[in-house]
Structure 1
Amino acid sequence: MELEYDLLVVSAADAGDDDPLFRAGTAAFEAGDAAAQAAALTSHAPAVLRYVSDRFSVASGGTACRPSQVGDATIGAREGVPYADLLLDWTCPERSDAHEVRSGLFPDREGYVKGTKTIVTYEIDGRSGSAALDAAHPAFSTAQAWYERFGEFFLLGAEHLLSGIDHILFLLALIAGSRRLREIVLAATSFTVAHSVTFMLAALGLVEVPGRVVEPVIALSIAVVAGWHLWGIRRRGTHAADLDVAGRGHLSLDRAGWVRLGVVFCFGLVHGLGFAGALGIDEAWSWTLLWSLLVFNVGIEVVQLTIIAVVFPLLLVLRHRAPKVGVWATGAVSAAVSVMGIVWFVQRISGS
């Protein structure tokens, strides 16, 4: 198990009323001393194991399996943040064709974090797979059908986009600056292909870029895409939504459309790293995990296309019936999105 170190320390200390663990663990965290962090967990191993085993359980045939810790805790890191690595062994009283895994780690009621998701990958008695657990879906069975397992990742992808305001604003900026339905669909698809590539590479541990680099660039991408449309309005006024017919090529895109598509693809590569960082998956290669990540991306794409299907037709109607109003309305949206992107960029650069 890989658990964020400082969160594990404060949660285990609070649950077990273990003030020495809190003092020693916090001091080691603030000092950035990995050896001291591992020592703090080792010297308070019973409290740490009790916290974890009370909230993460394995059952076989309806009977709880008994956990024990193998060796001492070690310290790893994800994007510069220390993580505690615990090796646990569950002894089950009887052999069963199915195991149930349940997680209630770091619940909202503790008051330290909100909306914890636990990603589980398993290989038990010839069965392998992945599952995403949260407060709404705290358990899964290794006997579940493939479509149930992938359905969880589909919903996780959909929820992830809907809960990510920065990605929603990026999509709105794309919609506001698009002149034709074909253009926005191609832009959204280009974005999805790009973020799918980097998301899976990062999640499989093949690419690693620090969050302090990724997050400011995501904010900047929002400002750039929104500002691009504002620049078009400044140059062409109410004709900003017109297509350069003389320059149209493959896929009915003019030169501006192709350039915009390339920029969106490049920014999509960065957004994929953001998706992977937020989800917190960093696992070794496996076909099961790969398919789970693909389904996760399908969930993102479906939500994107749904938002486009709802918003873009309304924009087309507005542009058709009142061209000037339509252009200035998209300009107002782009201006608001651009300002928000710049504010986020400054905040993330400064670390505030």
Structure 2
Amino acid sequence: MRTVAAAVLGLAAAAGVLLSAGPALAHGFSSTVYVDVTAGDAGHVRTAVELEYDLYIVSAADYGRDDALFRAGTDAFEAAHDAAMGAALNAHRDAALRYVTERFAVSAAGAACTAAPAGDFTVGGREGVPYARVVLQWSCPRRADTHQVRSALFPDHETYVKGVKTIVTYRLDGRAGSAVLDATRPSFSTGQPWQRRFGEFFRLGAEHLLTGADHLLFLLALIAGSRRPREIVLAATAFTVAHSVTFMLAALGLVEVPAGIVEPVIALSIAVVAAWHLAAGSRAGSRGRAGWGRLGVVFCFGLVHGLGFAGALGIDEAFSWTLLWSLLVFNVGIETVQLALIAAVFPVLAGLRRGCPRVGRWLTGAVSVGVSVIGLIWFVQRTLGG
């Protein structure tokens, strides 16, 4: 029992770190910027840039040494009122614009384009998080067959956030597609080869699973609740098929479910799947009704996780074959990491159960309890927090 108590206390400490380090949503330590690039009138380029509001306020105020922007922006954020948040940005328009235009750029054939605002700042929601939106019209000194986009928004040295991704969708220069920018690849060209675009989406899918605490815990619950290779293969297959279906449908805009529903259900899925082992694991293995029932639960929750994957990717683009292949590659990145984690963790637990049955049972039970508790806490947080 001492081993069980120590394991549970260790998991509780880890849970405390996870829960205190950031918000209840899955991606507390990173942020995503969304940019839509299209051809404007008379040869101009139009960009709609969306940034996480609270980070934007802190960064823009610090960058421009504008304490008034910080106070107005944080007051509006605490009031949780979209119109007030938009008004705070518009009241300090110059400082807010300067942060974007000095960290985000468009060029044509190597010549820098000049930005001008096209309308006021507005604020809306993505995955239940307030996002500020600004539309810029770019005038380029020369016409070109390709354009380049560069982003250095929310750089690591600001220390407010790490691992920023900028997801760009574009319909420009007779081409349409998507690209992923980060600190290692801060720019792209509309003429970039398809191999690079797909490589970026594979890496994004892999990183998304590795940095998504809730999806990792769900996978850990699946592994802990499976005794034989056949069980984990069936459970992983059910999860993969389910989340792949809803991920593709949601990313293509065919299905839309509010994040206020998706995120709490994802948290609940972690608790239920982890607790399933405690409730049914001591019976006749996982065969018969218990085994098929567990697969059914995993499949249903996998459908919800697919919506979470799509919400994190956040692409809002008309269907194209390029987009479809990008989404498929993103999904392959997720599956590759998922299979690698199963291959690394499941044999260790299975070996413990065979070589040291008592320790294996205690460890599996402790993991299941810890994961289930974390899932329940997240469920309450996300439900109460909307």
TM-score normalised by L of structure 1: 0.84
Identity %, equivalent residues = 69
| CA–CA distance in structure 2, aligned partners of residues 22 and 186 of structure 1 | 51
Are 2:167 and 2:315, in contact at CA under 8 Å, matched by a contact in 1?
Answer: no
Please tell me whether residue 91 in structure 1 is matched to residue 139 in structure 2: yes
Are 1:117 and 1:132, in contact at CA under 8 Å, matched by a contact in 2?
Answer: yes
User: Please, which moves more after superposition, 329-338 or 61-70?
Assistant: 329-338
- Matched with 2:197 is 149
Give the superposition deviation at 1:341. Answer: 2.5
User: Please, which moves more after superposition, 287-296 or 98-107?
Assistant: 287-296
- Matched with 1:307 is 341
Structure 1's 67 and 277: CA in aligned 2 closer, same or farther, altered over 3 A? same
Gaps of 5+ in 2: 1-48
Give the superposition deviation at 1:122. Answer: 0.8
User: Please, which moves more after superposition, 329-338 or 224-233?
Assistant: 329-338
The equivalences for 1:107-186 within 5 A come to 107-186=155-234
| CA–CA distance in structure 2, aligned partners of residues 77 and 326 of structure 1 | 45
Give the superposition deviation at 1:131. Answer: 1.1
Are 2:173 and 2:190, in contact at CA under 8 Å, matched by a contact in 1?
Answer: no
Structure 1's 6 and 306: CA in aligned 2 closer, same or farther, altered over 3 A? closer
| CA–CA distance in structure 2, aligned partners of residues 11 and 319 of structure 1 | 50
- Matched with 1:251 is none
| CA–CA distance in structure 1, aligned partners of residues 385 and 124 of structure 2 | 23
| CA–CA distance in structure 2, aligned partners of residues 10 and 329 of structure 1 | 43
Give the superposition deviation at 1:336. Answer: 2.9
Are 1:121 and 1:289, in contact at CA under 8 Å, matched by a contact in 2?
Answer: no
Please tell me whether residue 341 in structure 1 is matched to residue 375 in structure 2: yes
- Paired residue type of 2:178: S
| CA–CA distance in structure 1, aligned partners of residues 58 and 363 of structure 2 | 48
Structure 1's 53 and 195: CA in aligned 2 closer, same or farther, altered over 3 A? same
| CA–CA distance in structure 2, aligned partners of residues 336 and 39 of structure 1 | 44
| CA–CA distance in structure 2, aligned partners of residues 173 and 14 of structure 1 | 42
1:177-198 deviations in Å (ceiling 9; x for gaps): 2243233222212212222233
Give the superposition deviation at 1:228. Answer: 1.2
- Matched with 1:15 is 63
| CA–CA distance in structure 2, aligned partners of residues 282 and 114 of structure 1 | 21
Structure 1's 350 and 320: CA in aligned 2 closer, same or farther, altered over 3 A? same
User: Using CA pairs below 8 Å that are at least 6 residues apart, which structure has the higher relative contact order?
Assistant: 2
Structure 1's 38 and 228: CA in aligned 2 closer, same or farther, altered over 3 A? closer
Are 2:218 and 2:269, in contact at CA under 8 Å, matched by a contact in 1?
Answer: yes
| CA–CA distance in structure 1, aligned partners of residues 357 and 91 of structure 2 | 70
Q: For residue 87 of structure 1, give the secondary structure of its aligned residue in structure 2.
A: strand
| CA–CA distance in structure 2, aligned partners of residues 29 and 334 of structure 1 | 37
Structure 1's 259 and 126: CA in aligned 2 closer, same or farther, altered over 3 A? same
Give the superposition deviation at 1:308. Answer: 1.7
Structure 1's 175 and 34: CA in aligned 2 closer, same or farther, altered over 3 A? closer
Gaps of 5+ in 1: 245-253
- Paired residue type of 2:291: G
Are 2:225 and 2:281, in contact at CA under 8 Å, matched by a contact in 1?
Answer: no
Are 1:156 and 1:296, in contact at CA under 8 Å, matched by a contact in 2?
Answer: yes
Which of these two proteins has the greater Rg computed from alpha carbons? Answer: 1
1:74-131 deviations in Å (ceiling 9; x for gaps): 3333355443322212222223333221111122332333322111001221122111
Please tell me whether residue 38 in structure 1 is matched to residue 71 in structure 2: no
Are 2:106 and 2:112, in contact at CA under 8 Å, matched by a contact in 1?
Answer: yes
- Matched with 1:216 is 264
Please tell me whether residue 284 in structure 1 is matched to residue 317 in structure 2: yes
- Paired residue type of 2:297: V
- Matched with 1:77 is 125
| CA–CA distance in structure 2, aligned partners of residues 56 and 44 of structure 1 | 19
1:39-84 deviations in Å (ceiling 9; x for gaps): 4433433322221111111122222222121233333333554433
- Matched with 1:106 is 154
- Paired residue type of 2:153: L
Q: Which runs of 4+ in 1 moved over 6 A?
A: none
Give the superposition deviation at 1:301. Answer: 0.7
User: Please, which moves more after superposition, 298-307 or 60-69?
Assistant: 60-69
| CA–CA distance in structure 2, aligned partners of residues 259 and 276 of structure 1 | 26
